[in-house]
Amino acid sequence: MSERLKALESLPLRDNLRGKVPYGAPQVSVPYALNVNENTHPLPPSVVEAIVARVTEAAHGLNRYPDRDAVQLRAALASYLTERAEVELSEDEVWAANGSNEILQQILQAFGGPGRTLLSFGPTYSMYPLLAAGTDTIFASGEREADFTLTAESVTRQITLHQPNIVFLASPNNPTATALDAEVIEAAYAAGEQFSSMIVVDEAYAEFARDQSASALALLSGRPRLIVTRTMSKAFGLAGARLGYLAASPAVVDALQLVRLPYHLSAVTQAVALAALEHTDLLLGTVDDIRGQRDRIVAELAKLGFGVHASDANFVFFDGVRDSAALFQALLDRGILIRDVGIPGTLRVTAGTAEETGAFLDAMRDLAPQHLAAAPQAHTLSLPTL
Ligand SMILES: *Cc1c(COP(=O)(O)O)cnc(C)c1O
């Protein structure tokens, strides 16, 4: 054990944090960073200008605390969702925080905690168990089918078994990229009814979905314990701004106000997000291109012989890799950083610009003969129709 680790172990750390490792996707400088599902397109210069103007205005008022309830921003987010998803939402039904990770943390602070259980279905977003540990919430690790999909029947069975206080459903799921059918979410909500489970649908990648009508936002009406979380980190290309939000019943928003830190959203963050929301068309102008690059990766990797999972996100999950760590390293040696999510035989890659995607696919064409698994993987999916 290193000296540093020994020093950590000697601190009176909470038991459920002992031995844990922090979230740590590598942050290294490479020509092609395709590992954390950012929108790799630079922001349009006119949007940058609008952000600077709004931040300048906000800077004059930085001697004062920001609007604690971020009402203007929540109204702008509500309009965005109302226009995009064609569901009527007001600011009372929207809440914002520093990234959807903070939203998820607040949900756990309000509805989880000691003796309470969060159920999620692995493989899924690696932050869920960490957020559970941080709030002393029991993490129940549910299962998926062999092809990593989730069915209404299996979700119902596992919710009935674990009787969770909270359920996290990522749709599309990270790292496996496929969105959930509405019937799975409806089934989860119905199964959780008897335990008053909060059902949280993490739609971080919703804007990239093949079927835009599939959002769980359409299910909110009449379901007071359903929460849909969204973020500006992915499609909006604002990962650095840290702005996540949710849509839910006003009572859920009231509950989260009990645990949020006072003035948790800085005036600068609110200004950046407001400026961005005034230019959604421009900002989301790259989404179609990214979807195209994603579909190109799906088609090309399949042609090379890899097993490719249907993707509703801005990343692609593939299997049929002989040795994930070896292929990851071979790509990194060529300046291309993708993600080894720790599932043997698989890797995940973000769809970047046409040029970045081309560089990745060129490298894969070279590397495939050496790095393809000998036999097809048992869980290789049939290809999506493109
Ligand atoms: C990227 C991602 C998020 C976004 O987190 P932010 O804190 O909003 O940047 C949330 N959920 C999943 C599943 C993700 O992959």
Of all protein residues, whose CA lies closest to atom 3 belonging to ligand 1? 204
CATH of 54-278, one of 1.10.10.10, 3.40.640.10, 3.30.43.10, 3.40.50.300: 3.40.640.10
CA of 210 to the centre of ligand 1 (A): 19
Confidence at residue 72, expressed as pLDDT on a 0 to 100 scale: 98
CA of 233 to the centre of ligand 1 (A): 7
Of all protein residues, whose CA lies closest to atom 15 belonging to ligand 1? 174
Same CATH topology for 20-44+285-371 and 54-278: the answer is no
Residue of 36, 101, 205, 208 to test ligand 1 pocket, by largest number of atoms within 8 Å of CB: 101
CA of 240 to the centre of ligand 1 (A): 12
Site residues for ligand 1, CB cut-off 6 Å: 37, 99-101, 125, 170, 174, 202, 204, 231, 233-234, 239, 244
CA of 125 to the centre of ligand 1 (A): 8
Of all protein residues, whose CA lies closest to atom 7 belonging to ligand 1? 99
Ligand 1 atom showing the smallest separation from residue 231 Cα: 8
- For 213, 223, 244, 373, the CA distances from 84, given in Å and listed in that order, are 9, 20, 16, 42
Confidence at residue 27, expressed as pLDDT on a 0 to 100 scale: 83
User: DSSP readout, 166-199?
Assistant: EEEEESS-TTT-PPPPHHHHHHHHHHHGGGT-EE
Say if residues 283 and 236 touch (Cβ distance below 8 Å).
Answer: yes
* pLDDT tens-place values along the chain, 386 residues long: 789 989 999 999 999 889 888 887 778 899 999 999 999 999 999 999 999 999 999 999 999 999 999 999 999 999 999 998 889 999 999 999 999 999 999 999 999 999 999 999 999 999 999 999 999 999 999 999 999 999 999 999 999 999 999 999 999 999 999 899 999 999 999 999 999 999 999 999 999 999 877 899 999 999 999 999 999 999 999 999 999 999 999 999 999 999 999 999 999 999 999 999 999 999 999 999 999 999 999 999 999 999 999 999 999 999 999 999 999 999 999 999 999 999 999 999 999 999 999 999 999 999 999 999 986 555 544 444 33
Q: Kindly list the domain boundaries of the chain, sorted by start residue.
A: 20-44+285-371, 54-278
Ligand 1 atom showing the smallest separation from residue 124 Cα: 13
> pTM above 0.75?
yes
Hey, is 111 helix, strand or coil?
helix
Ligand 1 atom showing the smallest separation from residue 234 Cα: 1
Distance in angstroms (rounded) separating the CA atoms of residues 382 and 295 = 14
Confidence at residue 383, expressed as pLDDT on a 0 to 100 scale: 44
Say if residues 287 and 236 touch (Cβ distance below 8 Å).
Answer: no
Say if residues 108 and 130 touch (Cβ distance below 8 Å).
Answer: no
CA of 246 to the centre of ligand 1 (A): 12
CA of 305 to the centre of ligand 1 (A): 30
Confidence at residue 137, expressed as pLDDT on a 0 to 100 scale: 98
At the fourth CATH level, the homologous superfamily of domain 20-44+285-371 is Aspartate Aminotransferase, domain 1 (3.90.1150.10)
Confidence at residue 376, expressed as pLDDT on a 0 to 100 scale: 55
